[in-house]
Chains A and B, each alone.
Chain A
Amino acid sequence: MRQLLIEFFDLPANIPVEEITQPAISKWDSLAMVQLITELQNSFSIEFDLEEIQALRSYQEIHDTLARKGVLSV
């Protein structure tokens, strides 16, 4: 999942996960958010509900959301 975000936002390979947040990454605008939702749904073969898409604003939030959906181990 970390790799997915690094590739998606074209981030340095060694970036600490705490720094992967929407406010910290300028490319992470509303268009990128829409594209990221599609990317995550597509990559993990899942569908988000309305509440879940509010909680995809950082590595940690995405990790927790995916873990709750059972596609990542906690």
Chain B
Amino acid sequence: MENQTLIQYGFIESSKNFGRWWQHSEPRTVEGNFPHGDIVYRSSQQAERGAVTWASMVARGVALLCLRLAFTLVKLNYTAVSLFNWIGRFPELQRNVIVEAVETASLAKVRHALRLLNELTPEQRGRAFILELLSTYNLEPVLPPIELALSCIPSQAQLRLAPLNDIEGHITRSTVAQACDVRVIIWRVEELLPEALYPFSNGFPEQLSTRTEEVVSRVHRLVKLHEAHTPATPLFLSTIAFPVHFSNPLFASQHAIALCGALARINRAIYDIASNHSGVYVFDICRWAALEGKLHADALIDFVARQPLSGRGQVAFAVFLARCLRPLLIPARKVLAVDLDDTLWGGVVGEDGLENLKLGHDFPGNVHLRIQRELLELRNRGILLVLLSKNNEADARQPFDSLPDMLLKWEDFALHKVNWKPKHENLREAAQELGLGLDSFVFMDDSDYEREQMRQLVPEVLILNSSSDPLHTLNCLWTTDAFDSLTVTEEDRRRHDDYRVRADRDVRAHGNDLEEFLRSLQMEATIEELGPANMERAVAMIGKTNQFNLTTRRHSRAQVQAILSAPGSIGLALRLRDKFGDQGIVAILLATRSTQDGTLVVDSFLVSCRALGRGVEDALWAALVERAHEAGIHKVLAEYLPTLKNGIVADLYDRFGLQRVEHSLFSTRYVLEPIEVQPPPGWIQLTKNKKGNAKQ
């Protein structure tokens, strides 16, 4: 028992994973100044209490796996951590060998893990894609760890390694027909600008300055070349890391044209290119190497094989590469559901009283303030915040109204679930109201009980933190990849307002009952035939709707007209009015009639993000089915084609009661036979169909 307790201590301590400045696995008290400014952390009995509650709640097997993960985090630098969150759906055997491979960085174990991953079904293994690596140094020995990390995304990556240091030549030879799905260019100063390592032997400063500008021009030319040959292929350009092995390091930072300045100049050009070219991204090796430290490098292997990474460096590099590519394959989580007490502030407002809450610029209130800053930033870049708090609403609102250092506002949360119901019920309701899947949610709570209950009852939800310690929670916010994105669009930045207007209107006055709330919106829907009057809006929606879009077919105006002019086809638009005014056309449905058996085939079905979660899709679907019935059609076929963004409609047709006839990674096909007319949702009043707009 004593041993077990010691192990638990180790877990709690190491799972905090604060990075290289705090890596130990023995119980002790830590006190000191840490890199993030004003935070001083004292860990002592809190960790002990955390350990005991943890042990009592988590099944032993899971705890042991986590324990191993946690010890791994101590040994590995932190960029490898992300991977362990990705593999949760793999069977236990595969998870264990992956953990062992990553933990030991042993090539034999990496290969063993890859063999076992091969035994999984294609569905478990994830999407197939071709990754092309172009490098100035030899990545061949590193391919197995790269393949393993990419498999954990999960994905079935096929790796293509271009000939060594022949970047332009390889791009020139490539064609659209044999294009890869993603291309990554990896380079370093030793090949790209070796003069910068020996400035005084290479005409410092004038000549070196000229050479640096030549490299910048080379990078620009190369991106043009890529865009000319394979315009649709996403390109990742690596930055240039500051080398581990070079001399005269102090001088290297003293002049704009010395080593550090020259690399900063090139890296700046790379960041500029990424911000000005859609489809070009940065693989920021420079930032990665700085965080990894010099243990990622191995000078001997570099001399032997022109491969600069140590065994552990290879694994960390591979995981970092996978994390950078992952947003192309797996949609980011969209919602963070957070608790109030002991998270947004220290203390419990309902018990300790407003005046005793800890929040502000002094320790420990500064930790909570920093958590609020992180949440506000998430909100402002498109992650919805949902409040899940067991509290009286009046108590919960009090700090928002009167706590002086409160940064977040009540309105910064898209939804407020402040009541005494179990949090998993509140979270499910929130998902429904927002029109988002449960797998879009991340949950953060200081209570071991709440986290464990959520983990068990809503396994789709990602649990952000694993202890009650606020600094641990903050650290999880710093390191999580759940919200990783390569770009932030205007739409992302507006998302909070869009959702709040939709989902949070008057919730207080109407309680939390969804249907009652929807009724209170006094929605009236008009079903219109697609025609000249609404064509422009319909084509615009077809072109840009990503989330509620079953097939994402981007038809042009001419294509829509061609579909509508075919015999028997049906094109419908739903116009919505509610008590806030006319919302315009918010849903489109296009269906064609099979010339062989008269079956109705749904071509496109989409709902504007402004109208999600209101049941307009039910109303439009009911209208379609009714039309089909009237036209004497006996069978309707429909399909769902998954994309990175349309996960919210993955089970729409299941909900409508259609039968699945075929299911693969790339599509799910459904049939409705016989036709059953369904009433539209009771909270939407359907006005008489307009048939005024003739087809074109």
Contacts and interface: CB of A to CB of B under 8 A. Distances in A.
Interface string B98-125: 0000001111110110000000000000
A39 to B, nearest CB: 5
Interface string A21-44: 000000000010011011101110
Contacts of B304: 34, 37, 53
B108 A34 contact: no
Interface string A1-37: 0001001101000000000000000000001001101
Interface stretch (B310-318, B364-372, B448-456, B475-483): B310-318
Nearest to A6: B108
Contacts of B225: none
A39 B300 contact: no
B124 to A, nearest CB: 24
B112 A38 contact: no
Contacts of B141: 31, 34-35, 38
Interface string B289-306: 000000000101100110
Given A7-B112, A41-B298, A53-B300, A35 B107 contact: yes
B326 to A, nearest CB: 26
A4 B108 contact: yes
Contact of B108 (A8, A31, A47): A8
A38 B307 CA distance: 11
Q: Is the interface of A mostly helix, strand, loop or mixed?
A: helix
A38 B314 contact: yes
Contacts, number: 47
Contacts of B106: 39, 42-43
B311 A39 contact: yes
A37 B300 CA distance: 9
Contacts of A38: 107, 141, 298, 301, 310-311, 314
A48 B107 CA distance: 18
Contacts of A37: 300-301, 304
A42 B106 CA distance: 7
B213 interface: no
B140 interface: yes
A47 B301 CA distance: 10
B108 A48 contact: no
B107 A39 contact: yes
Q: Would you call the interface of chain B mostly helix, strand, loop, or mixed?
A: helix
A48 to B, nearest CB: 6
Among B298, B307, B311, find the residue whose CB has the most chain A CB atoms closer than 10 A: B311
Contact of B310 (A4, A41, A48, A53): A41
Interface string B362-395: 0000000000000000000000000000000000
A14 B111 CA distance: 20
Contacts of B112: 7
Q: Kindly name the residue among A34, A38, A41, A48 whose own CB sees the greatest number of chain B CB atoms within 10 A.
A: A38
A7 B107 CA distance: 9
A54 B5 CA distance: 47
Interface in A26-72: 31, 34-35, 37-39, 41-43, 47-48, 50, 53
B300 A43 contact: no
Given A39-B107, A39-B108, A48 B311 contact: no
Nearest to B303: A50
Interface in B291-345: 298, 300-301, 304-305, 307, 310-312, 314
A25 B304 CA distance: 21
Contacts of B310: 38, 41-42
Contacts of B300: 37, 41, 47-48, 50, 53
A34 B311 contact: no
Given A39-B311, A42-B311, A42-B312, A34 B305 contact: yes
Nearest to B306: A34
29 contacts: A4-B108, A7-B108, A7-B112, A8-B108, A10-B111, A34-B141, A34-B304, A34-B305, A35-B107, A35-B141, A37-B300, A37-B301, A37-B304, A38-B107, A38-B141, A38-B301, A38-B310, A38-B311, A39-B107, A41-B298, A41-B300, A41-B310, A42-B104, A42-B106, A42-B310, A42-B312, A43-B106, A50-B300, A53-B304
Given A34-B307, A42-B105, 10 more contacts: A8-B107, A8-B108, A34-B304, A37-B301, A38-B314, A41-B300, A41-B310, A42-B104, A43-B104, A53-B304
CB-CB nearest 6 A-B residue pairs: A42-B311, A7-B108, A34-B305, A8-B108, A38-B311, A35-B141
